[in-house]
Each structure stands twice: as structure tokens, then as C-alpha cells.
A and B are shown apart, each in its own frame.
Chain A
């Protein structure tokens, strides 16, 4: 650092010095944060290329790419919530159960006469309530995010079983199924919804005041608090967002599988954490992107899809996916 001497000519050197574009690129590539963002995109392109080469007539068809988009939609929405939680150096282990709880509430509302979208609002609000509870307990009782959401994982799953009596409710609704089958000019509705949510989340995190506060809370809660950031409010909002998205995703899941199932789906949770890590979001909080985990979700689904199309046995699929996650994390070597 140069603190210039107390002469009047020094002010010309002080302050920001604009670097040339080349310097900017050089600076960027030295920043490990840069690589952790782009490695996902590179990996995704690689996966598409490799499987496209192996099975050009099967993998690269509009139909199959459509499949990958549909398969990615619900995980992509869940991962937005998880990203917010991880950005505050927390984690939401309860999202899969909150989704199940939302699904059950949806089922009860629907079979009691609500329309398909009013039931969707009911399920979403159920998710918001669970998330709000998470955030409240984490903020006010100072218990770790890991433990609180772990507890909610069981509680929400249990409640889902209780109020549904363990029985799935079939949801027959053409409008709802259409959500899963139809699309805008080739792009499935589900992916359009997921993309809109992703863009909104990006905007919220990087272009609003509260978004900066979220990153500050994750980066250094003590420093943030000393500057007057309301840490408690941040935690409450972030987990409420995560719960809301899980509750909303319940309706989308029902549109795909046709019933409100009381059994939780834990692979959704594991994939969300994998996608967050792959997407370059630091588990220690304060740093990350929204689009990184989005692309990572596409990557994981494309990988699963590609392996299925090529005919790789299920056992090897688990191994391959695990390897991709570890390799990507190792290649980037960020915290």
C-alpha cells in the first residue's frame, strides 16, 4: 500500500486506479473465486459433449434435452433456498421434509375442494411456516443451523405422516399435470418457473440492500452485527425463503407424479448440497452465486440422464456422480 506523503500533488495518485481490461482478466483468473464459478459451466459443456458424442441420436435430441430440463426444474428451485441458507454460513437439512409436508397439505386442501392452485398456495404457506420456525429458533435461541434444520427434518416428516395418516392422496387435475408436460415454445413450463425464480433470487441477493446483508451475515456475523446489520432478521428471512420454495416445489412435484406422497425424498436434499458445493458457494458463507448452483443442478441431471441413456448400470451411476462432485471440489480448491 502506498500512503502518499502529505503533498498536494499526491491527491492525483490517491483513490482508485482504473486497470486495463487485460489486467482485469489477469486479476480475475488469479482469483480462485472465478474458477469456482466457471468450472461448473465447463463441466456441463463437457458432459453434453461427451454424451452427445457417445449417443448423438439419443442424447442430443430435443426430447431428451427437454427431459434434462424437466428433471432439473424442481431441484433447481430447492437449490435456490439452499444457496441462501449456505450464504449465511448455515445449511437447510430440512428442505426435503418441508417439501413432503407441503405436498401433504396440498393433498388435504385439494381433496377438500380447493382448486389446484389454491391448494398450491396452501402448500407453499405450509413451507413458509416451517422455514420461519427454523429461522426463528436459529436466530433467537442461538442453536446451530445444522442442528435446528436436522430436527425440523424429522418433525416435518413426522407431521406429514400424522396429518396424512400415512396415506397418499391422488391428485387428478389436468391443469396441474399440464404444468409438468407443457411448455413455452419447447422450454418446459417447470423450467421456465425455475429460471424465473433463479433470476429473481440473483437479483435479490446481488442488487438489494438485504442481499448484501445476507452475504455480510455469512461472511462475518460479528463484523456485520457491529455495523448494525440485523443478523437475526437475516436468518429468519433466509430460512423462510428456503421453506417457501420447498413448499412451492411440492406442488410442482405433485404435477409430475400425480399424488401427494407422505414419504420424504432424501436424494433431493443430498443433491441440493452437492449442487451448492459444485456451484462454487462457500460452505463457510458470505460468498457464492445463484447461477453456479443452477448450472450445477443441470450438470448433475445431465450426467444422470446421460448415464441412463448410454446404459450404465445404476451402481456405477452413483460412483460417477460422486466422483464428479469430489473432482470438481478438488480442482477448485476453495474453502
Chain B
């Protein structure tokens, strides 16, 4: 199958899934609202990571295009769970029509979301899922979830890696913040996709480039026969690539996120591939879902956003387009539901 068709296949699966799940929709605000009067509150993770900057861009662009107002707030740092909870609390009491959230941990926003649900407002959870148990205990309800299947994304990476280096080789694993759901899913998926290999780690590098550099260095010293590295996000993959270069080796390094910096590195050859998860699309869909709900419509309970492996074979096209949306298009279940 040609590489571009990969995205089409995924896109079609998304439509199929959405169609299947359309039954599980949730009611939103009774009266439909005019586009210009719709106000959306957004609380996402720290903006010191380009991934979430891309989410923010998708939100802002889409809000602008549709003519709605979006207040995007982010926690001061990637692991300030209390700070993020404070931000949601501050916005929960304001009269926004809809709330989009990406929680830092699976639990930290649950109490705030409970307040949002009590106020009768819909919640769109994107990218990282909120833990259902704590959410239920707080009386909260997610109207719709839109995110990548991190396990599937990791698996795609694993499969691609296996094709590249062959079976039975040693692969170093660099994970994100300890215990983080996204990181765990990506790592687990990768291990499944690259089954038959020996895995070193995973070692936690907290999503940080320098920590990943140090971790990879240590791994290379302890295991000189490492044949490849997988990092749970692109910023860490950058650090790993530096460690590999410093050790004078030429082994494949895979990351996740599809950041522009990493695409440039793929072109240059120091990073091998990135599993792109199109955060821009997630932001876009979040806004669209909110608009549909504010207009009194219904949305599917969950949507899998597109992902794909970008390597030297398709990096040029991705670079040209800014890699905000997958080449070859994708299916957006929310857009057609928006009343003009």
C-alpha cells in the first residue's frame, strides 16, 4: 500500500468509528446560539512544549474562522498539576458555553470538571483522557473525547521500526513523566508493535530534552549493542539523537508528536521518524465540537484523531504543509454538524 494511503485508511476508520458511535451522543445546551456569541474556555498543558502550542494554534485558528471567542489558558509548567486545576476552577464559574481540557494527570482536573458539569456546561476532553473513576466521584461528565489512540500510535512506530532494523535487536525506551497515561500507552504500543526485540528501560525523562540526552547516554554506556531508540515524545527524541551522535553511532531514533523541529531533523538524518499525532487537528476538533454543542446539536462520544508515521519518505510533504494536518486529508466528524 502506498504511504499516503496510510492516512486515508486511518481517516476512513475514523469515519466508520464515528458513525458507529453516533448513537452515544450527549445532549447539550437547549437553545442554539449565534456563532458570534459563543464563548469557549480552554485549559491545556504547559505551553513550553511545541506540541501544545500546536493545539493552541488549532484552537485559535478554528475559533477565528468560525467567529467564536476562545480563552486559552495553560498551566505554568508541564507538571504543575495544582496550577492547572486552579486555572480550570477560575474559568468554571464563568459563563462559558463549553470547556475544552487536556489534563496534566488523569485526576487533577476531576474536581474542577465536576463544577463545570454542575453548572450544566459541556466538556470536550482532548489528547489525554481524564480518569473516569475520579471524574464520576466528582460528579463530572465528559461530553466528548477526541484524541489519538496513543497505543495504536506507539504500535505503528514499533511496526515501522521492526521493518527497519529487523527482529531480535535491542531497543532503548525513553518514557515521559513517571506514571503518565499517554507515555505508558505509547511505550506499551511500541513494545507490542516491535515484539521480538529486547527492550532496555523504559527510563523516565519527564518529556525533557536534556534529561532524555542524559538517559540515552547512560543507556549507550551500559548497552553498547543498542540498535535503536524510541522516545515517547519528539522533544525527548531530540535529546536522544544528540546522545547517539555524540557516541558516534548511526542508529535509528523514533519520536512521537510530529514537531516541525523533528521533521527538520528527519530531513537532516539525525532523527529517523516521528509518529505524528496532529495536535492542531485535536485543537480544531475541540472547538468544532464546542460550537456544535453550543448550537444545540449532538456530537459523538469519542473520536479518534488521525496519526501517522513520518520518515524520510514523506517528510518533505509534511514540512511544506507545516504538518498541521495529515497529508491526504482526514475525516472530521464535527465540522459537518456546524450550522452556519
Contacts and interface: CB of A to CB of B under 8 A. Distances in A.
Partners in one complex: yes
Interface of A: 58, 61, 63-64, 67, 70-71, 74, 161, 164, 166-168, 170, 172, 174, 177, 180-181, 253, 256-259, 261-268, 301, 304-305, 308-309, 311, 313-315, 317-318
Closest 8 CB pairs of A and B: A166-B178, A258-B107, A63-B93, A257-B108, A259-B107, A168-B179, A71-B86, A258-B134
A13 B110 CA distance: 69
Nearest to B202: A166
B179 A261 contact: yes
A301 B85 CA distance: 13
Contacts of A170: 107, 131, 133-134
Interface stretch (B23-31, B70-78, B309-317): B70-78
A304 to B, nearest CB: 7
Nearest to A254: B107
Nearest to B139: A181
A166 to B, nearest CB: 3
Contacts of A262: 178-179
A224 to B, nearest CB: 37
Size bracket, chain B contacts: 35 or more
Contact of A267 (B83, B133, B138, B178): B83
Interface in B88-119: 89-91, 93-95, 105-108, 110-111, 114
B284 to A, nearest CB: 19
B81 interface: yes
A172 B107 CA distance: 10
A67 B82 contact: no
Q: Name the residue in A61, A63, A181, A257 with the highest tally of chain B Cβ atoms < 10 Å from its Cβ.
A: A257
Given A172-B137, A308-B87, A313-B72, A263 B93 contact: no
A256 B105 CA distance: 12
5 contacts: A63-B93, A71-B89, A258-B110, A265-B80, A304-B90
Contact of B77 (A63, A167, A266): A266
Contacts of A268: 82
B197 interface: no
Contact of A265 (B79, B89, B178): B79
Given A67-B86, A70-B89, A311-B71, A172 B134 contact: yes
A253 B82 contact: yes
